[in-house]
Amino acid sequence: MKLDGTTEQVLLRAVNMHPFKPQVQHVDFQRVLADEKIHMKVPLHFINAEESPAVKEQGAMISHVMNEVHVRCLPADLPEFIVVDLGQMTIGHSLHARDLQMPNGVQLALRGTENPSVVTAQIPKAAITEEEEAAAAAAAEAAAPAPSEVPAAKQKPEGAEAAAAPEKGKEGKEEKGKK
């Protein structure tokens, strides 16, 4: 950036636009030194999701957990974006930040053993419930014994159910008379 006859190396940090007019209201720059590392957010560009085995063969959905990552690098090494290749994603697996291929001179800005998920591949919930219902119905059919297999001790005689249930009409009359 040239300002008052001097040239400075800067990074564009933010641009504020007017809410409905195509007009710039404010611009933020950060002065940087060529030999000092900077800390920036860099967007992620996801590619090959349609060709992954999770989507192509198993009908999974790819969920983007993060859309940008924090990196440290020299200003000259700062990438415009980081490519995330999803061509090998399988169901139930996720891609973590430390699995990303960083350009030369660029490091992830993570603390200690931190390794957040960037993207996951899962079967949609609606598809899971239909499959689970079918599996549960099949399991219930297989587990239920046929009536001839129920032991005689557990079978009730036909008249036992009727004798065990008291007559409702008589109880109701007796209770009214007691009041």
pLDDT above 70 for 24: yes
Q: What is the pTM of this model?
A: 0.62
Planar angle of CA 50, 66, 105, nearest 5 degrees: 95
pLDDT in tens, 55-85: 888 888 888 999 999 999 999 999 999 999 9
Token code pair at residue 61 = 């959905």
DSSP strand pairing (94-96 vs 6-7): unpaired
Compute and round to an integer the Cα radius of gyration of the chain.
34
Q: Which residues sit opposite 84 in a β-bridge?
A: 46
Alpha helices in 51-124 (DSSP H): 53-56
Dump the DSSP string for 43-65: EEEEE-STTSHHHHTT--EEEES
Tally of helices (H runs) and strands (E runs) in the chain:
4, 11
